[in-house]
Amino acid sequence: MVRSDDVSTLPRRRGDAPPRCRRTAPFRRKTLHELTLAEHVVHIVEDAARRAGARRVTRVRLALGLLAHVETDTLLYCCQLAARDSLAADADFQAERSPAQAHCADCGADAELAALPARCPQCGGENLSLQGGEEMRVIDIGIS
């Protein structure tokens, strides 16, 4: 559920619309989710930058698990929004997908998956169980 006081923190100006906003309810919920994650990212980044005595953050590199329920473009856009009044206001936000571990129930192989949908690299089976891949983390930041 989205409460009205949560929604009031969302950007309303036309220029703030995400690049591919379809203005549907599911999209707004998704954006809210990503904005929350983005605020968390900015908090972590500012904290690290302050501890390092930085004046500003120039670059932020994020790793998104293959199965993380996050749309990369939306998250990066939300990071820029969330960083507006922070040390990372002018930072270049980048994200890369990190692989997930899979186990094949057909042949018993363990494999690292870089993309979905996936098949077992050993036998081509689709009977894979996935482990991990839902994490999101800050890999490194550039400061000045």
Nearer to Zn ion (CB atom), residue 123 or residue 139 = 123
Number of separate helices (H) and strands (E) present in the chain: 3, 6
Find out whether 107 is annotated in a ligand binding site.
yes
DSSP code for 99: P
Contact 111, 120 (CB under 8 A): yes
- Both tokens assigned to 40: 């968390």
Residue 78 marked as a ligand binder: no
CB of 132 to Zn ion, least distance (A): 19
Distance CA 122, CA 102 (A): 12
Closest CA relative to residue 38, chosen from 110, 115, 93: 93
81 part of the interface to Zn ion, by CB under 5 A:
no
Whichever of 67 and 109 has its CB closer to Zn ion, that residue is 109
CB of 126 to Zn ion, least distance (A): 9
Q: How far apart are the first and last CA of the chain?
A: 40
Structure tokens at 105: 């129930």
CB of residue 131 to Zn ion, shortest distance in Å: 15
9 vs 131, which CB is nearer to Zn ion? 131
Question: Kind of pairing, strands 100-104 and 136-143?
Answer: unpaired
- Nearer of residues 32 and 109 to Zn ion, judged by Cβ: 109
In the region spanning residues 97 to 126, those forming contacts with Zn ion, defined by CB under 5 A, are 104, 106-107, 109, 120, 122-123, 125
79 is annotated as contributing to ligand binding: no
* Residue ranges in contact with Zn ion by CB under 5 A: 104, 106-107, 109, 120, 122-123, 125
Annotated binding site for Zn(2+): 104, 107, 120, 123
